[in-house]
Structure 1
Amino acid sequence: MILHLYFARRFIMGFILISAVLFSLLVLVDMVDQARRFSSYDIGWLRLFGMTLLKTPETMNLILPLIMILATVVLFLSLARSSELVVTRAAGRSALSALQAPIWVAFIIGVMAVGMLNPIVAATAKRYIQLSDSIRAGGTSVLSVSDEGLWLRQGSDEGQTVIRAWRSNKDASVLYDVTFLSYAPEGGPARRIEADSAALEDGIWTLTDAKSWPLEVGVNAEGAAETFDTLTLPSTLTL
């Protein structure tokens, strides 16, 4: 029993050491990636570090089997280099018996990963997506659902746009009976667009059967209106 506890302790220490090393490397790499991804937004390093900590558990969960394999290799290499495996065999213990403690520890870690790590990863990943979308949208909520339809807001250096749709598909990637109302950076409405549908793709809205009215002062909106079979608009939103 004491020998099993000794092997279990050595395995746990190896697992913790490798996890700490890989976690540190992942934080460093992901920190650089977050800085590149949000380089065009005015956010500090502290906030970037916080978002990195929210993103890293998801990667750690993916490489957990690799950590387990490396911890096992480190354990038995260290036991072989110190001749402890030889002493164990000489004492009458079989090699399979020496595997019992690491197997039980690995099983317990797996159960804890399923029961505790997975919910943590789900919560941190969801929070990361919320913060990422909030930064891209200027720090305010971008989505609102009411009896009057689905409401979105997107912003850029060219101004703000309010989007309303009466319905959407399951993941809100396609909006139907949609209206875009754009505001100039200095304030005031600039353009109104109505379309049968609007599909959110990588950085753009693709509108079908759209009609656009300019809303500048002194312009006949209906007289200057344009119709489009397909119209694309830039977007700062993501799914």
Structure 2
Amino acid sequence: MILGRTLAIYFSARFFKSILGLFLLAAVLIFLFDVLELVRRGGDQEGFTVVRVALISILRVPLLLEQVIPFAVLFGSILAFVTLSRALELVVARASGISVWQFAAPAVVVGLIIGTLSVVAYNPLAVWLQHRSDEAAAGLFGSEQSFLLQTTQDVWVRQDGLDGESVLLAKQLLDGGTRLLDVTIFAFDKEGSFKERVEAATARLGDQIWFLEDVTVYTTERDPQQYGRYEVSTYLTATEVRESIGSPESISFWSLPRFIELARNAGLPAYRYTLQYQTLLARPLLLTAMIIIAAAVSLRVSRFGGLGSMILGGIVAGFVLYVLSELAKDFGGAGIVPPIVAAWAPGIFGVLMGLTILLKQEDG
């Protein structure tokens, strides 16, 4: 029996509502916890207001929620399957000759649509909002900003310049690697001897030079000196800075291919950014895997009951895929395995696992 158009639309709407409901619930919870954390850490900082912190959190929550999308699809699909089963709608559908593959098809279509839209539209919007959040938070959290905003890591970057080598640390990266916040530079002369330590509130990358503002210079020969502006030579480019300090998640889906090409042309490894690009491309497949797994763990409930076993099965399946994804990400980001393999393997594994369980349940 072929699933009718009206019934397919009805099932699709039920799945979409369940997934959207869990996604919005997760958004509210993340926002509340995020605001509380920002208030706790920034409450005594100059320029702090509750409205400003709430705005920062609202702007950065969408990017944080990207990690929740697969789990919202998994548990939303489980909820939809169980709700349809308890209302006897799936029972009636199966009694009329509709197979599990047919009533799961609308859910898979919904997953593919959500996955595609989350990549081509939601991700670029979330990254743009994250950049606005970074700008709104600039200077508010001081040295803790990188921890709070989670857009960069404390990475020491070695650079060379006309005046000699130096080592740079920045707490936050803005404007594609051309502007840094909370910068520390250890400078050495051409003979390799330590010359000075430079601490600056901001640094802007020009043509082979860092333009620093609000600077304190420490040397072994005199007391600390304050400067409104200061310059440090460098051969680094914006691409090299972003590759060393920036996070792949801070680049939108549409900008990743161009950045990967720039990194490769500069002779830099682009494993992390290639992995991020392939991971986004593979997201529709991963969401499809989540829906098939949800059907596998929910089908037995519709026949034999056992809500606790269903929830446990869904959690275990989600945990397995999460661990596999993280391991693949670590291997792919380090260049141990090809990024394309690391990105697509979790989705392929999830689909095969779900199909195997469904085939066993349906056909023995």
Given residue 94 of structure 1, which amino acid in structure 2 is its aligned partner? S
Which residue of structure 1 aligns with residue 6 of structure 2? 2
Greater relative CO (CA pairs within 8 A, separation 6+): 2
Where 2:234 maps in the other structure, the secondary structure is strand
| Counterpart selection for 1:91 from 93, 96, 100 | 96
Cα distance in 1 for partners of 2:108, 2:68 equals 18
Which residue of structure 1 aligns with residue 269 of structure 2? none
1:47 has 2:52 as partner = yes
TM-score under structure 2 normalisation? 0.43
* 1:107 positional shift: 0.3
- Say what the alpha-carbon RMSD is for the aligned residues: 2.8
* 1:147 positional shift: 5.9
TM-score under structure 1 normalisation? 0.63
Larger CA Rg, structure 1 vs 2: 1
Which residue of structure 2 aligns with residue 218 of structure 1? none
Which residue of structure 1 aligns with residue 221 of structure 2? none
Task: Check whether the contact 1:134–1:142 (CA below 8 A) recurs between aligned residues.
Answer: no
Number of aligned pairs? Answer: 171
Cα distance in 2 for partners of 1:109, 1:4 equals 17
* 1:51 positional shift: 0.3
1:51/1:160 CA distance change after superposition, 3 Å:
farther
Matched-pair identity in %? 21
Task: Check whether the contact 2:215–2:230 (CA below 8 A) recurs between aligned residues.
Answer: no
Where 1:153 maps in the other structure, the secondary structure is strand
Which residue of structure 2 aligns with residue 35 of structure 1? 39
Structure 1 or 2: more helix by fraction: 2
Cα distance in 2 for partners of 1:124, 1:164 equals 31
Task: Check whether the contact 2:208–2:235 (CA below 8 A) recurs between aligned residues.
Answer: no
Q: How does 1:25-174 map to 2 (within 5 A)?
A: 25-41=29-45, 42-135=47-140, 136=142, 142-146=202-206, 149-154=209-214, 162-167=229-234, 169=236, 170-171=240-241
Cα distance in 2 for partners of 1:69, 1:59 equals 18
* 1:54 positional shift: 1.4
Gaps in structure 2 of 5+ consecutive residues: 143-180, 183-200, 217-225, 246-364
Show CA shifts across 1:132-190 (max 9, x none): 3343479xx8333456932122479xx8764421215432889xxxxxxxxxxxxxxxx
Gaps in structure 1 of 5+ consecutive residues: 175-239
| Counterpart selection for 1:18 from 17, 22, 25 | 22
Show CA shifts across 1:73-114 (max 9, x none): 010010111111111011121111100101001100100001
Cα distance in 1 for partners of 2:123, 2:40 equals 28
Cα distance in 1 for partners of 2:205, 2:76 equals 49
1:60/1:148 CA distance change after superposition, 3 Å:
closer
Where 1:142 maps in the other structure, the secondary structure is strand
Structure 1 or 2: more strand by fraction: 1
Task: Check whether the contact 1:144–1:150 (CA below 8 A) recurs between aligned residues.
Answer: yes
Cα distance in 1 for partners of 2:205, 2:128 equals 23
Which residue of structure 2 aligns with residue 214 of structure 1? none
